[in-house]
Amino acid sequence: MNWIILILQCLAAIVALLYYPKFKAKPIRMVLLLLWIALVAEIGARAYTAAGYDNNHWIYNVYAILFYGLFYKMVYDHIHHPTRKKIVAISAIIMFLAIIFRALTTPFFSLYMVHVFNLATFVMVFHLMYYAIDLLKSDADFRLKNNLEIFIFGGYLLFAVSFIPLAPFIFGIWMPDLSRQYYELLGDIQGGIVIVMNLTFIYGFVWTRELHSL
């Protein structure tokens, strides 16, 4: 399944690049950078391990910091109501400062910072909730085919709501004595969700119309 995930990550990044002219005028264009950073991190982590290094956690730590920072900015840019925009900005800054503090006070190069990243995922869901509220209260005419962000945010939301409960088990924080079989099962569940997420991205890139700036 790992190779299937990598192939789909690669396809999602390539399709995003090919269809970039369709959405380059809107803030959702940030997803192109997110997808390519994810692909480079995944390939880099695998290559680092193949080179004989046992621990590649620092690569995923660096990737997560970049991901959350860029993702928070992307959601912020899609919210129009001043109060909701301010709430998202403040929560993003506080969370990002917490991530940086944790990175400076933990073995950053040998330990994946699962606790703080799990909290960052909660904030990610919180931001997407505010985006949904902003969208529902907007007077603008909504057409799914004109809103690539629905597919992008929907895919990331699917990942987020699964990562929050599964991560503590997958990383052995809760019930560390689970058998290898259960760890593999949980990993397969998470992997399946990542596959669906990337398929959602690809479909959105291909199916939606060209997007114009507001």
Terminal CA-to-CA distance of the chain, rounded, Å? 40
Phi-psi region of 175 (alpha: psi -120 to 50; beta: other; left: phi over 0): left
* Whole-number pLDDT of residue 172: 56
pLDDT in tens, 136-195: 998 878 889 999 999 999 999 999 999 888 877 766 555 566 666 766 787 788 899 999
* Whole-number pLDDT of residue 13: 98
Residue 33: C-alpha distances to residues 37, 131, 208 (Å) = 6, 20, 19
Average pLDDT value for residue range 46-51: 93
Q: Of 120, 75, 113, which Cα lies nearest the Cα of 96? A: 120
pLDDT in tens, 57-102: 999 999 999 999 999 999 999 999 999 999 999 999 999 999 999 9
* C-beta of residue 10 within 8 angstroms of C-beta of residue 135: no
Please state, for a pLDDT cut of 90, what percent of the chain lies above it: 74
* Whole-number pLDDT of residue 185: 80
